[in-house]
Structures are given as structure tokens and as C-alpha cells.
Amino acid sequence: MSDDRPISGPEKDQAARTADDLKAAALAAAESVPVSVEPPTLFEVQEMELNFGPQHPSTHGVLRLVIRVDGEKILETKPDVGYLHRGTEKLFETETYPMGIPHTDRLDYVAAATNNHAFCLTIEKLLAVEIPRRAQLIRVILDELQRLSSHLVWLGTSGIDLGAVTPFWYAFREREQILDFFEEYCGARLTLNCMRIGGLPFDLTAGWVERLMEFVDDLPSRIDDYEQLLTDNRIWKKRTVGIGVISGQECIEWGVTGPVLRASGVEWDLRRAQPYECYDELDFAIPTRTNGDTYDRYVVRVQEMRQSVRIVKQCIDLLEPGDIRGKVPRVIKPIAEEVYASIESPKGELGFYCVSNGTNRPYRMHVRPPSFINLQALPRLAKGHLVSDLVALIGTIDIVLGEVDR
């Protein structure tokens, strides 16, 4: 009722009656229906919005997460990507096919060799060229070394995320040695640019193979050292077992690949599922675990490192003198076609989708970045865990922002 004018006469009675009726009705309702009484809360529960990154030591680059927290419990995570976007896919269109290779170095910058490899594989599929056997073997060696170095970076950084500083230094000591091998091979340590369409730019230098053999013979004992510090460590287990559990089915639905998928019990590895180069001749296992938690992802990656060592050793044994480059025309002008080729990068399925239109530049180039697609699962993994776990989870899906943002 409007309060503007004074109420008088019958109208007033009516108003009073209505009010009384309402009151009575309310009382009756209160008696008949059990009213849920809010428990008196001493303190108001406040949700806080926390900006996690882009400048944060544990986001492994410029990842920004907007998280809603209740105390330290995460209610919602929103990854905000794109801080490192450099338009790589567009850049591919503006340059000739071979000129695209250095751009791929900058995608997953801790694993440049596998990026080069996936790119070259796509163009080679387009051109249908045969790769000489020696080149194939060296490519596999470089790939596996790259996998080792990428996993070492992951091991070190995710250890630091959980406060274990020492494995970082151990892992980086070995990674330095791997980078030395790359440097000796192609002159670069990080942005390798170490593959060419149809083969390789250089042959191996004298003594490289012998030194590599020495290194990979020694590596398993070093991996034992890391495991000594972490695998059976109570605190490490407490921080990782049961954190960020995701089932194999869910991984498949999210498109998650790589060690994350294998830790959830799905034995899917492109090296075995659709072998490229000479992986079908090599004897190696695909480590899988069933729980799909952070600990299992750790175990899978560590065991993958041991398998990589095995692969490198086998490739070294198989190496024979020969060509390192297939028959590729000087000017690469593939016929108009669409191809997709992918490899098992350290992070998962790394694929390139190329549309050519008969010129010497791709009409469209698309990257299927494992980091980006795996990152999608982060909000799902993080829900209900604590802020401290979020740090562990960013580490465990092993993202590289160069690849996420491209």
C-alpha cells in the first residue's frame, strides 16, 4: 500500500484486517511448514577473487588464472590465456615452408626438436618424400633427448612448486648436458631449428655418438637419485596422491593426451599407435598408471624418461652411415591438399594441420598444441582443492605457455 496519504475510515479497517490476515496466514504457515532456520554464523563467509598470475612464480610463464576461493579452497578456476600470443599460425602463411621451421622452435620452447619434427613430418606427408634411414634414427634420438630434457624441466619445476628445491638442481644439471649435445649438433641449445623438410640439416659430429652413449648409460643412475628424493618421500606423496584425479574417459572427452592421459590408465602413445619414423622397430614400453592423480603422472613421466634412455641406446646401435636428407625439390611447392600429421611430443599429441594451395606458402597452418588442450582440464582438476594444490596441478599437466598461446 502506498504511504503517501493517511489511511482513515473503512479503508483503514480493511488495511488492518488485511495486515492481520496476512500475519495469521504467516503464523499458520510457519506452524505447518518446517522453516529452515539458517544456523547463526559468527563470521560471514567471504569469497575472495584471487588473481593468480600472469606474474606468479608458479604459473610457468605468463598464465593468468582468475580463481574464486573460500579461504584457501578453490571454488572456480578460469584460465585466461593469450599473454604470449604471437600469431605463429598466421606467420606460417606469410613465409615459405622451410622458413616455418624456426617459428616452431618458439612454440614449446623447452622441446624445440619435437616441434620441428612435427612440422617437418606434416610437410613431408604433403610432399610424400622418403626419409633416409639414418635421418630417421637421428631424428628419433633428437626427439628422445628432447623428451628427456623436457621431462627434466618438468621434474625440476614441479618439484619447486611443491617446495622441493634440490631435484631442480639435479635435473637441470643433466638437462645442461643434453643441451650441450644439442649445441654440438646444431649450434643452438634451446631454439634448435634442427630438422629440415626431408631430413636433417647436419650429420653428427665425430665422437658425438660415443659421448651420448656414455651419458645415457649414466642417466638411469641419476634418475634413481631423483626418485630417491621424491618417489617414497612421505611429504611428496601426501602432496600428490589423490590430487587432481581425472579418469581416462574424462581425459578422452577433454582431448587430453600425453603422460596425463597415460597416468589415467589409457595406453595411448602415438609412437606406438601410429608409428612415425622408425618407432615401430624399436623396443620400448608405454608406462601407464591407473589412478590418474598427480603422483601417477609423476611416476609415468619418470618411467618415460627411463624408456627414452632405452630408445636412444637402441637407435645408437642401429645407426649406420648414410644420407641424411631425402629427395626434396629446391623450391617446395606442394599440390593443393590438406594434411594432418602428429607426433608424441613430451606433452602429448602435437599435430600440424596444413592446407596448401599449390604455392610455396601454406594457405593455412594450424597447430594442435597439447599444452593448450591439456590446460583446459585444469579447472576440472582444481575444483575443490586448495590453492597450494593448484600450484601442483599447473605443474603436473606440464604446460609451456609458448605453446598454449602460440
Nearer to another protein (CB atom), residue 178 or residue 391: 391
For residue 364, the tally of other CB atoms under 10 A from its CB is 14
Bridge partners, 80 (sequence order): 64
The helix (run of H) or strand (run of E) holding residue 353 is: strand 348-356
Nearer to another protein (CB atom), residue 112 or residue 243: 243
Nearer to another protein (CB atom), residue 49 or residue 253: 49
Residues within the interface to another protein (CB under 8 A): 48, 50, 56-58, 72, 159-166, 168-170, 173, 227, 229-233, 235-236, 238-239, 284-288, 303, 306-307, 310, 386-389, 391
Find, among 283, 281, 263, 272, the residue nearest to 377 by Cα: 263
Smallest gap from Cβ 381 to another protein, in A, equals: 16
CA 203 → CA 2, 121, 252, 328, distances in Å?
A: 92, 19, 39, 17
d(CA 397, CA 381): 10
Smallest gap from Cβ 386 to another protein, in A, equals: 6
Nearer to another protein (CB atom), residue 4 or residue 283: 283
Longest dimension (CA), the chain: 113
Bridge partners, 353 (sequence order): 340, 366
Smallest gap from Cβ 383 to another protein, in A, equals: 16
For residue 99, the tally of other CB atoms under 10 A from its CB is 13
d(CA 205, CA 211): 11
d(CA 18, CA 26): 12
Smallest gap from Cβ 340 to another protein, in A, equals: 28
Smallest gap from Cβ 260 to another protein, in A, equals: 18
For residue 13, the tally of other CB atoms under 10 A from its CB is 11
Nearer to another protein (CB atom), residue 235 or residue 335: 235
Nearer to another protein (CB atom), residue 376 or residue 388: 388
Smallest gap from Cβ 391 to another protein, in A, equals: 5
